[in-house]
Amino acid sequence: MKKGILILGLLMVTVSCSEYQKLLKSEETAPKYAAAEKLYKEGEQEDNKKKLRKALTLLEKIEPEFRGKPQGERLVFMLGDTYYELGDYFNAPFQFERFLQLYPNSQKAEEARYKIASSFYHRSPKFNLDQTDTRKAIEELQVYLNTYPEGEFVSTANDMATDLRIKLEKKAYEIAKQYHHTEFYKAAIASFNNFLADYPGSPFREAAYYYRFDSAYKLAINSFQVLMEERLKSAKEYSVSYKKYYPQGEYLPQMEASLNEIEKKLQNF
């Protein structure tokens, strides 16, 4: 019984593949269009990559033949969306941009605009790599949000934008912290100053305030005597900023220990 079912299944797959190959070789566009749409819908609903790839092959073949025809709008969108569903986030935004240029008033325009931004979101790399695609994704998400402030995908788009901004913040914070850890204290202070100015609501803000102080403190205690007093006072000023915003902060015990050392050294002057 099991063997019979298996053989029947294999025969159906073979027939299906044979019909698909005949369809690819056919000169008729109408059957290809119907098959492409069927495979696209089934592949999307079932998350079936094999069907989506078959649909893509057909769509790429017939899309040029329907340009300027009523079916053209549907085909261009399906082509972009098939790339998107297959995880091809390089071809998908290109096709969606083309769709918006050709059919700016389409009912699918909002979805196309969102999926352009979403494609760049998925292309965004880890925080320690080049963030060109991350910035592009934020830009495209903002275009979507500005164009469709009450749109279907607003909540998801806002979540994506938040994720990407945190990634940029983390990169900027880690660069400054790396300067601190490698004892380039002047560069660390400058980087933390920039970070605090650029990202006022960052979750890394408290740590940035502390490590800016710590960089200034370590710069001071490792300075020549002629520079030490001024740098110790500067470090104290940074501690005031930290305490202003974080009076019960996580780094307060370490900071107080360093401030005691600063006071002892200042007495020598």
pLDDT in tens for each of the 269 residues of the chain? 544 444 434 334 443 567 778 777 666 778 888 988 999 999 999 989 999 999 999 999 998 888 888 889 999 999 999 999 999 999 999 999 999 999 999 999 999 999 999 999 999 999 989 999 999 999 999 999 999 999 999 999 999 999 999 999 999 999 999 999 999 999 999 999 999 999 999 999 999 999 999 999 999 999 999 999 999 999 999 999 999 999 999 999 999 999 999 999 999 88
User: Does a structural domain hold residue 201?
Assistant: yes
User: Does a structural domain hold residue 157?
Assistant: no
Evaluate whether 205 touches 192 at the Cβ level (below 8 Å). no
**Structural domain tally of the chain?**
1
Cα–Cα distance measured from residue 63 to residue 67, given in angstroms and rounded to the nearest whole number: 7
User: Does a structural domain hold residue 268?
Assistant: yes
> What pTM did the predictor assign?
0.82
Sequence-ordered list of residues with C-beta below 8 angstroms from that of 208, at least 6 positions apart, any chain: 173, 176, 192, 195, 196, 202
User: Does a structural domain hold residue 4?
Assistant: no
User: Does a structural domain hold residue 108?
Assistant: no
User: Does a structural domain hold residue 218?
Assistant: yes
Range of the domain at 226: 183-269
Is the backbone of residue 151 left (phi > 0), alpha (psi -120 to 50) or beta? beta
- DSSP-derived 3-state class of residue 106: coil
User: Does a structural domain hold residue 42?
Assistant: no
User: Does a structural domain hold residue 158?
Assistant: no
